[in-house]
């Protein structure tokens, strides 16, 4: 159980850029100090900032952790052990629905109501499938901890077959070298 293998790398929906651009533009519009900045935001700075932010998003699931990283200038990296994940919840609002996006809120053990979720993932492509993979990985990890047996990685039989084929080819090459020398 000491080894940590990657299971899945989440992809983010490109529509997330437009969602971030418009939601921040709306925020600037409703604030008195934001109205002068709104013009600068709309004339290009906003598109540049949201593109950099989108490009910095990464989320990966391993056999032991859920890792998330965001931000270009102000980076945030979070790692949550699978055994601490209690629930994954979807959040929708009208603006998210318009862009066909969802927020996946990760709640962990020891998370108090005052601090909110430990992680909010906005705009993951096929968020329902990602949620199922995280929950399955969590269950596999907990089962492996209880039984003391490491979970078998997906595609392990195929990998073993390929390694055996490579071994046979190397043995054949070794025999050919012996007969030629």
Where are the domains positioned within the chain? 6-150, 154-181
Q: How confident is the model at residue 19 (pLDDT cuts 50, 70, 90)?
A: very high
Q: Per-residue pLDDT averaged across 123-152, rounded?
A: 84
Strand partners, 105: 89, 120
Inform me whether the pLDDT recorded for 170 exceeds 70: yes
Inform me whether the pLDDT recorded for 129 exceeds 60: yes
Kindly provide the residue ranges of all beta strands, DSSP E only, lying in the chain, ordered along the sequence. Answer: 6-10, 58-62, 65-70, 76-81, 85-91, 103-108, 119-122
Q: Are 140 and 133 in contact (CB under 8 A)?
A: no
Q: How confident is the model at residue 111 (pLDDT cuts 50, 70, 90)?
A: low
Q: Which residue has the higher pLDDT, 174 or 12?
A: 12
Summarised one tens digit per residue, pLDDT across range 82-105 is 888 988 999 988 888 999 999 999
For the chain, give the percent of residues with pLDDT over 70. Answer: 89
**From 6-10, 29-33, 84-88, 109-113, the region with the lowest mean pLDDT:** 109-113
| Separation of CA 64 from chain center | 13
Mean pLDDT of all residues belonging to the chain:
85
CATH topology of domain 6-150: PH-domain like (2.30.29)
Q: Per-residue pLDDT averaged across 122-146, rounded?
A: 90
pTM of the model: 0.70
Summarised one tens digit per residue, pLDDT across range 28-70 is 999 888 888 888 899 989 999 999 999 999 999 998 999 999 9
**From 31-40, 112-121, 130-139, 143-152, the region with the lowest mean pLDDT:** 112-121
Tell me, what's the pLDDT at 1? 46
Tell me, what's the pLDDT at 176? 82
**DSSP label of 94:** H
Tell me, what's the pLDDT at 47? 92
**Token pair recorded at residue 73:** 């200038």
């Amino acid at each position: 159980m000491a080894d940590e293998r990657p299971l899945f790398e989440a992809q983010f929906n490109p529509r997330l850029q437009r969602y971030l651009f418009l939601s921040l533009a709306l925020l600037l519009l409703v604030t008195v100090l934001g109205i002068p900045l709104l013009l600068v935001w709309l004339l290009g700075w906003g598109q540049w900032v949201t593109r950099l932010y989108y490009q910095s998003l990464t989320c990966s699931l391993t056999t032991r952790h859920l890792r998330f990283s965001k931000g270009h200038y102000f980076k945030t990296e979070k790692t949550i052990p699978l055994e601490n994940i209690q629930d994954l919840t979807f959040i929708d609002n009208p603006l998210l629905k318009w862009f066909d996006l969802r927020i996946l809120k990760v709640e962990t053990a020891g998370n108090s109501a005052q601090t909110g979720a430990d992680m909010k993932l906005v705009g993951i492509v096929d968020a329902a499938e990602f949620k199922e993979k995280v929950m399955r990985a969590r269950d596999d990890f907990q089962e492996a901890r209880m039984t003391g047996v490491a979970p078998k990685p997906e595609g392990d039989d195929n990998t073993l077959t390929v390694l055996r084929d490579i071994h046979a080819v190397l043995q054949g090459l070794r025999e050919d070298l012996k007969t030629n020398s």
